[in-house]
């Protein structure tokens, strides 16, 4: 039974429908795997053993349902996504006791689809970080090498999925927080088009950047999760009305797209497909092994008939600066709601209301959250607003123009997810700017709001660690990403199982 958890999500679904095993068998297998690996990984902040077993038993009682696309499948949620009745800590001491009384839009959709939620995953505090080192509950370790970070901020979700603690997980991506850990842990992860997935019940970091997306062990698995969570939600004002989409209703059948790409010969999908390569991404200081793995993939794509086209993103060099200005500004305003009054930990011995705010916030927020709040407050403060915040927003429009032009001629753009493989713990300690620069290849998509799908391209020949690439697409064109990614997946040998656990 213990190996059940290592199957793909898609294979697990098939077995459930054939009654080879039940929801309870899968849930127990995942819980066993969690027990065995958590002492090393620390990928979960809370394991929902009791509620997961109850839920799985209740599902088994009824039996498989064709109309429930994730019936009986154990999955996890990044612990910044609200799940009714269970703590949502955001990896912060400040709100470690906060228990939401409602489900996030994506949590309701998972439940409605028949999924079993087995754990809430570790993350960087309030999703601020690229290594899952900034968690009040300790860092998550990379299942490929326990001395290294899993990437962040959805590092708990990526590590858990790679280590087969669950069949998939939901993370959030504000500046690369799904794609970077997916790349470092050898998973498939999608940052959807801004507005594609409901953010209702997801604790806000950068509201014009945040998107929820799936992490899984295959392109098809990722599509199955995405198909469940994608779609409008009246409770999120930024949720996109696709019926108003200028190009007509975009393709919505993501599972079919992934199956098409995976079942055909890769050449049938890739022949004549125009894939853009931006010098700004490829000449960005890639380590030699990342360069070799990614160039190897380009050769295979060209052999399969894809047309690799140079494209230009002249404003990419301003992306990291613009991103950290705007996202920190949004973080400083979003985190203003944490004041020790309505929820969260209240500092003792505060005489006046203002002292209570200051004392609660100073004790509650960890160092990186404080740094982002400070930066954001600075760039929004009088005398600096025009030079930083407004200027960054202007660059944002120019960048979007770069992408719109590049994607007119190409269906998608391909780039590595990071200039290097996973780093050792402490590598960016005391050097926040170095940490921010690690997001060089991911933040741009969040500025422009476009979708990106990360998948493994192979193992580095020096580090023996996963190297990720990302496919970036047109607005709401996730189906093309899934179709192409499934073909790419077939071109490449499987990564194998992570060696650290």
Partner 1 sequence: MAISKETVLHVSRLARLDLAAGLSGAEAEDKIGSFAVQMAQIVEYMDILNQADTSGVAPLFSPVSLTAAPRQDIPLEAGFSREQILANAPEQEKGMFVVPRVLHV
- List, by residue number, the catalytic residues: 78, 153, 177
When the beta carbons of 66 and 244 are compared against partner 1, the nearer one is 244
In whole angstroms, the minimum distance from the beta carbon of 216 to partner 1 comes to 25
Tell me which of 61, 138, 398, 496 binds partner 1, using CB under 8 A.
Answer: 398
365 near partner 1, judged by CB under 8 A: yes
When the beta carbons of 15 and 401 are compared against partner 1, the nearer one is 401
In whole angstroms, the minimum distance from the beta carbon of 397 to partner 1 comes to 4
For 237, 328, 365, 372, 429, the CA distances from 128, given in Å and listed in that order, are: 23, 10, 11, 8, 14
In whole angstroms, the minimum distance from the beta carbon of 310 to partner 1 comes to 22
Tell me which of 23, 228, 373, 443 binds partner 1, using CB under 8 A.
Answer: 373
Q: Where are the alpha helices (DSSP H) in 140-253?
A: 155-162, 179-185, 219-229
Q: Give Cβ neighbours of residue 106 (< 8 Å, ≥ 6 apart).
A: 77, 81, 170, 197, 198, 201, 202, 212, 229
Tell me which of 78, 148, 315, 420 binds partner 1, using CB under 8 A.
Answer: 315
Residues 392, 326 contacting (CB under 8 angstroms): yes
Q: Cα–Cα distance between 246 and 404 in angstroms, integer?
A: 14
For every residue of 82-122, DSSP letters joined together read: --TTS---TT-STTTT---SS--HHHHHHHHTT-EEEEEE-
Q: Give Cβ neighbours of residue 115 (< 8 Å, ≥ 6 apart).
A: 70, 71, 73, 74, 75, 228
Closest CA to 134 of 371, 374, 444, 438: 371
When the beta carbons of 302 and 398 are compared against partner 1, the nearer one is 398
Tell me which of 111, 256, 300, 400 binds partner 1, using CB under 8 A.
Answer: 400
Q: Footprint of partner 1 on residues 84-103 (CB under 8 A)?
A: 97-99, 101-102
Q: Footprint of partner 1 on residues 330-359 (CB under 8 A)?
A: 332, 336, 339-346, 350-359
When the beta carbons of 27 and 444 are compared against partner 1, the nearer one is 444
396 near partner 1, judged by CB under 8 A: yes
| 3-class SS string, 215-231 | EECCHHHHHHHHHHHEC
Q: Footprint of partner 1 on residues 411-440 (CB under 8 A)?
A: 430, 432-433, 436
Phi, psi angles (nearest 5°) of residue 457 = -105, -10
45 near partner 1, judged by CB under 8 A: no
In whole angstroms, the minimum distance from the beta carbon of 355 to partner 1 comes to 8
In whole angstroms, the minimum distance from the beta carbon of 442 to partner 1 comes to 15
The site map against partner 1 for 439-478 (x = CB under 8 A) is --------xxxx------------------------x---
In whole angstroms, the minimum distance from the beta carbon of 377 to partner 1 comes to 4
Tell me which of 244, 247, 283, 493 binds partner 1, using CB under 8 A.
Answer: 244
Q: Footprint of partner 1 on residues 183-242 (CB under 8 A)?
A: 194-195, 208, 234, 237-238, 240-241
Which one-letter DSSP state was computed for residue 142? B
| Count, residues near partner 1 per rule CB under 8 A | 76
Q: Is 492 helix (H, G, I), strand (E, B) or coil?
A: coil
Tell me which of 35, 295, 337, 397 binds partner 1, using CB under 8 A.
Answer: 397
Q: Cα–Cα distance between 169 and 123 in angstroms, integer?
A: 13
For every residue of 242-284, DSSP letters joined together read: GGG-TT-SPP--HHHHHHHHHHS-HHHHHTT-EEEEEHHHHTS
């Amino acid at each position: 039974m213990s190996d059940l958890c290592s199957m793909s999500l898609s294979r697990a679904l098939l077995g459930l429908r054939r009654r080879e095993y039940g929801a309870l068998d899968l849930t127990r297998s995942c819980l066993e795997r969690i027990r065995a690996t958590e002492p090393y990984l620390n990928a979960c902040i809370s394991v929902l053993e009791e509620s997961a077993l109850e839920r799985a038993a209740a599902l088994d009682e009824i039996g498989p349902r064709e109309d429930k696309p994730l019936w009986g499948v154990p999955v996890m949620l990044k612990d910044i996504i609200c799940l009714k009745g269970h703590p949502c800590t955001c990896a912060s001491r400040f709100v470690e006791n906060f228990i939401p009384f409602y489900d996030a839009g994506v949590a309701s959709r998972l439940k409605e689809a028949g999924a079993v939620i087995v754990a809430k995953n570790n993350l960087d505090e309030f999703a601020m970080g690229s290594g899952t080192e900034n968690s009040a509950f300790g860092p998550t370790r990379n299942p490929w090498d326990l001395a290294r970070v899993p990437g962040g901020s959805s590092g708990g979700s990526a590590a858990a999925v790679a280590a087969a603690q669950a069949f998939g997980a939901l993370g959030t991506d504000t500046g690369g927080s799904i794609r970077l850990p997916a790349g470092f842990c050898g998973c498939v992860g999608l940052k959807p088009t801004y507005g594609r997935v409901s953010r209702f019940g997801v604790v806000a970091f950068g509201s014009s950047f945040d998107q929820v997306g799936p992490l899984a062990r295959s392109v098809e698995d990722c599509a199955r999760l995405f198909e469940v969570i994608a779609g409008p939600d009246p409770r999120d004002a930024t949720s996109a009305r696709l019926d108003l989409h200028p190009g007509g209703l975009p393709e919505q059948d993501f599972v079919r797209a992934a199956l098409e790409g995976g079942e055909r010969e890769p050449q049938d999908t890739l022949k004549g497909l125009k894939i853009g390569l931006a010098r700004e991404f490829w000449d960005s200081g890639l380590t030699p092994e990342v360069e070799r793995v990614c160039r190897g993939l380009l050769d295979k794509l060209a052999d399969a008939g894809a047309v690799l086209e140079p494209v230009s993103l002249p404003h990419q060099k301003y992306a990291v600066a613009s991103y950290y200005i705007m996202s920190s500004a949004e973080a400083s305003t979003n985190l203003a709601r944490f004041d020790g009054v309505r929820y969260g930990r209240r500092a003792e011995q505060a005489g006046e209301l203002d002292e209570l705010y200051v004392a609660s916030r100073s004790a509650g927020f960890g160092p990186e959250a404080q740094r982002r709040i400070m930066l954001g407050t600075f760039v929004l403060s009088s005398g600096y607003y025009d030079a930083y915040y407004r200027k960054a927003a202007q660059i944002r429009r120019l960048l979007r123009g770069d992408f719109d032009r590049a994607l007119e001629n190409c269906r998608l753009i391909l780039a590595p997810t990071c200039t290097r493989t996973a780093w050792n713990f402490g590598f960016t300690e005391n050097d926040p700017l170095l940490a921010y620069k690690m997001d060089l290849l991911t933040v741009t998509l969040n500025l422009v709001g476009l979708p990106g799908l990360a998948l493994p391209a192979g193992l580095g020949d020096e580090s023996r660690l996963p190297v990720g690439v990302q496919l970036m697409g047109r607005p709401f064109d996730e189906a093309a990403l899934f179709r192409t990614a499934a073909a790419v997946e077939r071109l490449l040998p499987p990564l194998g199982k992570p060696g650290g656990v």
